[in-house]
Structure formats: C-alpha cells, structure tokens
Amino acid sequence: MTKASDATTPPLGGTDDLLQVFQLGSGPARDAVRGRIVRLGPALDQAIGGHGYPAPIAGLLGEALTLAVLLGGMLKYEGVFTLQLKGSGAVRLLVADMTSAGAVRGYAQFDGALLDAAMAASDAAAGDPDGTRPSGKRVAALMRESVPRLLGQGYLAFTVDQGVHAQRYQGIVDLRGPTLTECVHHYFAQSEQMRARLKIAVGAVQGPGGVSGWRAGGIMIQRMPDADPNAAARGSTAAVAVGPSEDDAAWTHARALMESATDAELLDPGLASDRLLWRLFHAEEVHAHPPQPVRAQCRCSRERVRLVLLSLSPDSRDELAEDGILAVTCEFCGARYPFSTAELAAQPDAPPDAPPDPPPDARGAP
Ligand SMILES: [Zn+2]
C-alpha cells in the first residue's frame, strides 16, 4: 500500500477509535473512489454503555453512531453532523451525532414492552418461539431486520450544521429496507449528487481478559463525480453534478471489494485499518490518509441548560419544577443540572442571541 503525499503524520497508536480517509485507483482513475474507514472500540462502548440499554437498542445505537462517523465526512468545516431516527415501533427516537473534532454521543427512547414483543416475533420467525438460542444470535437476528422490527414507520434524517461557515443542510428519507445502513443506501440512490455505499458491523465482542465491550467497524466508499470517465469522454473538464453510469468499472470493482469485508474483519481488534484496507483493496492502489481519533464526549453544560431554561416563561418554568427545583437531565450523557426557580427568576432574561435549542424534554439538554 502506498501513502498519500500528505500522509506524513505518523499513525496513532493502537487500532481503535480511529477514522481514516482513503483513495482508490491509480493513473487516470486516481481518486475516482474515495472512502472512509472507522474502527470503534472503547469510544463506542462508552457512548453506548453508560445508558444501560438492552442489547438490541445498544446495537441499533451503535450502528447509528458508526453511520454518523462515516457520514460526518459531509462536514467540510467545524461543525456537527446529526443523525436522527423517528419510528412508530419499540424505538420512537434515536439521535447520534459527531463533531468535526471527532466527539460522538447518542441516545435512544424506546418502549420496553414493544421491544420484548419485537424480540418474540423475531424468535418465532427464526423457528425458536421459546428464545432458546444463545442471546448473541437472537440479538443479531433482530438487528438484521432492525428497521421493520424495532422502528416500523418513520424516517431517518441527518443535519450538517457548520455554524456561520455554511448553510445548514438537511437530508431525509423514509425508513425502508431491513437496516439503517440500507435506509442510507436508499437515500443515496434517490440523490443525484452522490453515489456511495457503506458496510458496517456492530457487536458485543469479548476482549482480552474476557470482558465484553461494544465494537464497530465500517467502511464507506464514494464515487467522486468529477472523476467520472463519461464526463471526460464528453470532453467536459468541469465537475459534473450527476453520478457516473452503472457500467463504471472502477466503481463496480470498488463496491465488490468492499462488500467482501466480513463482520469478523470489521470487528477484529487485532486487525489495524491499514492492514484491513490492504487486504480488501490491494487489487487497486490504496492511498490512506493519517487516522483521526474518535472519542465519546458530550457537549452539554450547565450554562447552556441555564440559557434554555431562561428562554422559557416564568410560568412554564414553574410548571416544570418540582418543589421549586427544575432539574434537567442530559439524555446523551446522563448529567443532571438542577436549578431553583428562584435562582432563575432572579436572573436577567436570556440574551436575544441565545442558542435556538429545542426544549430540554424534546432532545435532552443541549
Ligand atoms: Zn450531556
């Protein structure tokens, strides 16, 4: 494998919690396909584990966080990429986000009784109505049909928020297909702007010492429109907005190579991203950029919660308070921020440029 000329930074130690950009191809096809590979270990375990969710919910959140890291490549400037799911089934709401600096967080709201029913239906469909298979197998079977079984009707939305640098961008697609990753494929299939495919594995894996932790691995490849050979044939030198045709050999080949990645390879803590990229794409030339770290970190603060509470009317604050205390718990990290209504009433109103965050009970604390 050769390194890109800008790959002068030495690789970070270890194989976990890293995101790496790569390019495929050589000669005229150089940079025809770009990709991102992510390997998540302790960061994912921390982002999921703190919630104490049942395994199917934790697995779904893990898939959403991995998608957020891969799709976060849409951030060109400092900002936040947010993936939000709304469903009609056991999972009503799921949010995963990542900052351009690599901080991830997420949470899910779900109905325990509907989750039990979904698991029972999945067991019955697998010919195991009593649920006697090992728990890992039962969860994996449910995850392979997580959209119809856990989410039902609804949508997947993502937001690219880059503050003052660029207009806020939103994409939305109906929940369709068996998994979240398939929903994202559906989105790209509808889009005329970008051709992309993803492969993701999420699982609770036993590490050295027998301790089990959540891990995930994912790859996203993207056809670069301005490298479209058909555009060159037409004599166009400008970047074309539409994707290449289906008979694009470089793209078809890259897709086939990516699809050959197994879940075991994507989740293997002993297999570094560099080695996995070489194993998958050595038939092409791979140019890997230096890895970037990913970590679990929330962005809530007492000050941001205070500004949201001050934006409510005194009457609304009194309605939400219990015994004169208004406590907000961050849905992402569980941090609790108690305020006395007297303390809030004594403070000046929120400044006019206070952040337009949703009310705390709609999305957790900001
Ligand atoms: Zn928080």
208 CA distance to ligand 1 centroid (A)? 30
270 CA distance to ligand 1 centroid (A)? 32
Model confidence at 115: pLDDT above 60: yes
Residue 349 has a pLDDT of 54
For residues 187-195, give the mean pLDDT: 84
332 CA distance to ligand 1 centroid (A)? 5
Model confidence at 173: pLDDT above 90: yes
Task: For residues 191 and 336, state if they share a domain.
Answer: no
147 CA distance to ligand 1 centroid (A)? 27
Task: For residues 23 and 168, state if they share a domain.
Answer: yes
Q: Is 3 inside any structural domain? A: no
179 CA distance to ligand 1 centroid (A)? 27
Q: How confident is the model at residue 348 (pLDDT cuts 50, 70, 90)?
A: low
Residue 118 has a pLDDT of 98
341 CA distance to ligand 1 centroid (A)? 21
339 CA distance to ligand 1 centroid (A)? 16
8 Å CB contact between 83 and 98 = no
17 CA distance to ligand 1 centroid (A)? 20
**pLDDT per residue as tens digits for the range 54-104:** 999 999 999 999 999 999 988 888 899 999 999 999 999 999 999 999 999
Residue 346 has a pLDDT of 82
Task: For residues 208 and 335, state if they share a domain.
Answer: no
For residues 312-320, give the mean pLDDT: 89
330 CA distance to ligand 1 centroid (A)? 5
Task: For residues 119 and 227, state if they share a domain.
Answer: yes
Structural domain count, the chain: 2
302 CA distance to ligand 1 centroid (A)? 10
CATH of the domain at 329: 3.90.1280.10
Residue 177 has a pLDDT of 95
60 CA distance to ligand 1 centroid (A)? 20
For residues 314-336, give the mean pLDDT: 92
Mean pLDDT across the chain, nearest whole number?
85
Q: Is 2 inside any structural domain? A: no
For residues 23-33, give the mean pLDDT: 80
Task: For residues 307 and 288, state if they share a domain.
Answer: no
Identify which has the larger pLDDT, 192 or 5: 192
Query: Percent of the chain having pLDDT more than 70?
Result: 83
297 CA distance to ligand 1 centroid (A)? 8
325 CA distance to ligand 1 centroid (A)? 19
335 CA distance to ligand 1 centroid (A)? 6
Identify which has the larger pLDDT, 354 or 273: 273
Task: For residues 59 and 171, state if they share a domain.
Answer: yes
**pLDDT per residue as tens digits for the range 126-162:** 999 999 999 989 999 999 999 999 999 999 999 998 8
Which of 296, 312, 343 is the endpoint of a domain? Answer: 296
Structure tokens at 323: 């015994």
291 CA distance to ligand 1 centroid (A)? 26
10 Å CB burial of residue 231 (0-12, 13-18, 19+) is middle
Q: How confident is the model at residue 284 (pLDDT cuts 50, 70, 90)?
A: confident
For residues 166-180, give the mean pLDDT: 92
Model confidence at 170: pLDDT above 80: yes
Structure tokens at 79: 């900002």
293 CA distance to ligand 1 centroid (A)? 20
Task: For residues 242 and 306, state if they share a domain.
Answer: no
10 Å CB burial of residue 127 (0-12, 13-18, 19+) is exposed
46 CA distance to ligand 1 centroid (A)? 13
158 CA distance to ligand 1 centroid (A)? 20
CATH of the domain at 203: 3.55.30.10
**pLDDT per residue as tens digits for the range 219-258:** 999 998 755 455 444 444 443 434 445 458 888 999 999 9
149 CA distance to ligand 1 centroid (A)? 29
Q: Is 187 inside any structural domain? A: yes
**pLDDT per residue as tens digits for the range 198-215:** 999 999 887 667 778 999
| Helix residue ranges, H only, 36-159 | 42-49, 55-71, 112-125, 135-143, 146
pTM for this prediction: 0.85
Task: For residues 239 and 355, state if they share a domain.
Answer: no
Model confidence at 354: pLDDT above 50: no
Domain range for 165: 15-296
